[in-house]
Structure 1
Amino acid sequence: MESLEETFKALAIARRVHPSEPTYILDVALQSSPSSAALVAVSCSNRAVRLHQRETLGLQAEFKGHTGPLCGVRFGHASPALLYSGSADGTLRCWDTRLTGAHAAQVFRSDPAHAFCSFDVSRSGVVLCAGTERVGEDSFLVFWDSRKPEGLLGVYSESHSDDITAVRFHPRVADRLASGSTDGLVNVFDVSQGGEEDALITTCNSDSSAAAICWAGVDGEQLLCLTHDEGLHLWDVGRPDSDDPLTLLSANDARMLLPLPDDTCQSTTPDDASPLDYFVGGAWLEEAGQLLVVGGARRGGLRLLDCSAQGLRVIGSMPDGHSATVRCFTWEPEGGALLTGGEDGQLLQWKAGATELQGGKRDVLKSSSALQLKARTHRTHHSKRNNTQHTHT
């Protein structure tokens, strides 16, 4: 862990990609290939998916076809050449990164009323799951067989009552799925059990609107939830039948868990005096046995945090680089690189001791679709489930 933390402390910008037009970067995914030609995918606010070469960040291809805002990108685990993207247009699209054609290799749909705001691909690569926005009084988890474009496997409709903002398959257990919603609930399912009621293993309550979830822990027995109002919750979901409390760490405003900082990430302007304004997301670092949480300041500075049951601890600060809110990140363990993207449209590659090979920091570029991307006022609803047997707070 010490060597990785030393790496984090020494991170500096190695490369950056400037946008050619005012476009936010919303999500980033890394191809699981040891090849030097491995790819990085980013989803953009102009509804395009861009492919970059992992090492140089050179643009390799751009895929267009979605007609609504994108909700993420994922490479296939079993077939890394396949790239999936999800959208509020009600489709998941599968792109073959070996081909440069403009058309998706497969398109997955469900009910025409469904608008997707999250999705994921199972570890086996066989099952796809997407979470919908609320439709009337309902919201849905939709499942497909990835081998069949028309292979709709089923729908869960009773476990959430508002937009399903996060869907994550377990990194090792193929049938384990977690979902988070603006209704405040985070559910864990065993999707091999068939019916929704039988599949639900446990429910945790974030008491707010779930923004992101992440599997963590040496055996993947923990679940991290970050909320839209900067709350943080870490639960032990590996023993749902235990009488022990599930909550390992809980804070309605996790920014308060950090000590008063130095000036490394602090702006000189009064309206941006906070050293940590928001959380970007979390990632379990297998090689270090460590849960990484990334937070940011409005002006673009970043902080790398170690998260555990003992709280949050700063393990790295990057005050310069982005000029606006950072939306996404991914850690590349093979090359020891951190990739970040945000509302300034820039894709940055950070490496220990690096010297930037390209131009410097840019001012924020306002996207023409910025209004569509502003967080909606999140509604608060009670779960449609009244079965307290599975509910833990």
Structure 2
Amino acid sequence: MYNLSCAYGYRYPGSEPIYIVDIIPLATGLAAAASDQSIRLFDPQRLNQGPLKRLQTDHGNLTSTKSFNSVDSIICTTGENGTISLWDLRLDSANAQVLRIQGDGTSLLSLACSGQTNGVAAGTELANHQASILLWDLRSTSAPKIQYNEVHSDDVTELNFHPKNPNFLLSGSTDGLVNVCDTTITDEDEVVVQAFNHGSVHRAGFLNDSEVYALSHDEKFALYDMAEAAEKGTATLDAGDIRTVVGCQYVANVVPKMNGAGAVIGAGSQDQEMFRLIHLSKNAAQSPWSLDSDTVVGLPGAHGSELVRSFCLFDEQQVVFTAGEDSFIKAWRP
């Protein structure tokens, strides 16, 4: 295992701990979403100098933050009051909220964004025996252009658009299903083009054009293939409880590589005060996917005994950023 060292960091002020739940790399810096319902923008190279700007969201409880356009530094947020906000982080704090979509009051738990199609999808919690996926065209936001009420039967916890075809939307739910929908289809009997029964979904997303990963709330990890030649619904890699496979207590997230050739799994152990980056590699050999134990990167000390909630990689600068429940954002270097 190759260890990195904490080079610098920033602690959110206050006597009560603030959970930093997500960090998102943008052209103008590093955006961080926190449990005080704020969005802060940092200079990644001067993290310890504090935020460049702070925005206060009004969702009641901030549940999801996604990049809408990282080049233009536009992000999207949502929360328990069912509203969605679009923020342009190039603008000053007073004018940064450039769009607000008023929902019907049902709490929204998940988001997916497509700058290519000006589309935003949101997933609701289960309310009145219904969990929905709503899709808006941001050029006309008076009402969702599509609403699916029968794709899932419980909280919609994860949404992601396909990396190349934004008509395909992946969704995950506590009902156990990971579905891929063709959003050009409005008929709910026909919209799901592929379904995988994985278990209550914590994280899920596309690894490449056809393969997806899923991580359950009880840390079961598997890969699936939506290609026509693949066996329908069957995992191509079933790792079972990922904690026993990689020797951790929890998985924070899975970050796919841009070239579609793998992903990085961020796994933590509070009792060891250690966070590890484990490479999921795709090979041309008989076993196409493997967890590469030879290239594990360790972050000793991590966030102490607190959970790491998010991480991101700046490969060109050779720096890793982590954020946790100890109120810290940290930068790690060789």
**Aligned-partner Cα distance in 1 for 2:124–2:177:** 15
Equivalent position SS for 1:90: coil
Correspondence 1:272-283 to 2 at 5 A = 275-283=247-255
Partner of 2:239: 251
Aligned residues of 2:69 and 2:75 also touching (Cα < 8 A): no
Partner of 1:231: 220
Paired residue for 2:328, among 346, 367, 373?
346
Partner of 1:379: none
Correspondence 1:1-393 to 2 at 5 A = 9-21=2-14, 22-31=17-26, 33=27, 38-57=28-47, 58-77=50-69, 80-102=72-94, 104-112=97-105, 114-124=106-116, 126-206=118-198, 208-217=199-208, 220-239=209-228, 242-243=230-231, 246-258=234-246, 275-286=247-258, 289-299=261-271, 300-307=273-280, 310-314=289-293, 315-323=296-304, 324-351=306-333, 353=334
With over 3 angstroms needed to count, the CA separation of the structure-2 counterparts of 1:153 and 1:249, relative to structure 1, is: same
**Aligned-partner Cα distance in 2 for 1:178–1:88:** 22
**Aligned-partner Cα distance in 1 for 2:125–2:330:** 31
With over 3 angstroms needed to count, the CA separation of the structure-2 counterparts of 1:330 and 1:100, relative to structure 1, is: same
Equivalent position SS for 1:335: coil
Report the CA distance between 1:321 and its aligned residue. 2.8
**Aligned-partner Cα distance in 1 for 2:128–2:260:** 44
Q: Unpaired segments of 5 or more residues in structure 2?
A: 282-287
**Aligned-partner Cα distance in 1 for 2:206–2:280:** 13
Report the CA distance between 1:45 and its aligned residue. 0.5
Aligned residues of 1:327 and 1:343 also touching (Cα < 8 A): yes
Further displaced range: 280-289 or 90-99: 280-289
Report the CA distance between 1:227 and its aligned residue. 1.0
With over 3 angstroms needed to count, the CA separation of the structure-2 counterparts of 1:245 and 1:90, relative to structure 1, is: closer
TM-score by length of 2: 0.88
Report the CA distance between 1:319 and its aligned residue. 2.1
**Aligned-partner Cα distance in 2 for 1:237–1:151:** 31
With over 3 angstroms needed to count, the CA separation of the structure-2 counterparts of 1:293 and 1:347, relative to structure 1, is: same
**Aligned-partner Cα distance in 1 for 2:233–2:56:** 46
**Aligned-partner Cα distance in 2 for 1:317–1:81:** 30
**Aligned-partner Cα distance in 2 for 1:150–1:39:** 32
Equivalent position SS for 2:93: coil
What per-residue deviation string (whole Å, max 9, x for no partner) do you get for residues 161-202 of structure 1? Answer: 111111111222221110101111000012122333332111
Report the CA distance between 1:333 and its aligned residue. 2.9
Partner of 2:284: none
Partner of 1:382: none
RMSD of the TM alignment (CA)? 2.2
Report the CA distance between 1:307 and its aligned residue. 2.4
Q: Unpaired segments of 5 or more residues in structure 1?
A: 1-7, 259-274, 354-393
Aligned residues of 1:71 and 1:119 also touching (Cα < 8 A): no
Higher relative contact order (CA 8 A, sep 6+): 1
**Aligned-partner Cα distance in 2 for 1:181–1:349:** 32
The letter for the 2-side match of 1:185 is L
Partner of 2:285: none
The letter for the 2-side match of 1:181 is S
Further displaced range: 247-256 or 125-134: 247-256
With over 3 angstroms needed to count, the CA separation of the structure-2 counterparts of 1:78 and 1:64, relative to structure 1, is: closer
What per-residue deviation string (whole Å, max 9, x for no partner) do you get for residues 227-279 of structure 1? Answer: 1111101111233x644664111133122223xxxxxxxxxxxxxxxx51000
**Aligned-partner Cα distance in 2 for 1:343–1:17:** 13
TM-score by length of 1: 0.76
The letter for the 1-side match of 2:241 is D
Equivalent position SS for 1:226: strand
Report the CA distance between 1:67 and its aligned residue. 3.9
**Aligned-partner Cα distance in 2 for 1:177–1:230:** 23
**% identical equivalent positions:** 26
The letter for the 2-side match of 1:346 is F
Flag the structure with higher strand content.
2
Report the CA distance between 1:42 and its aligned residue. 1.1
Aligned residues of 2:211 and 2:226 also touching (Cα < 8 A): yes
Equivalent position SS for 1:128: strand
**Aligned-partner Cα distance in 2 for 1:74–1:282:** 15
Partner of 1:272: none
Aligned residues of 2:226 and 2:232 also touching (Cα < 8 A): no
Partner of 1:266: none
Report the CA distance between 1:290 and its aligned residue. 2.4
What per-residue deviation string (whole Å, max 9, x for no partner) do you get for residues 112-143 of structure 1? Answer: 2x101110101515110011110121101111
With over 3 angstroms needed to count, the CA separation of the structure-2 counterparts of 1:322 and 1:78, relative to structure 1, is: closer
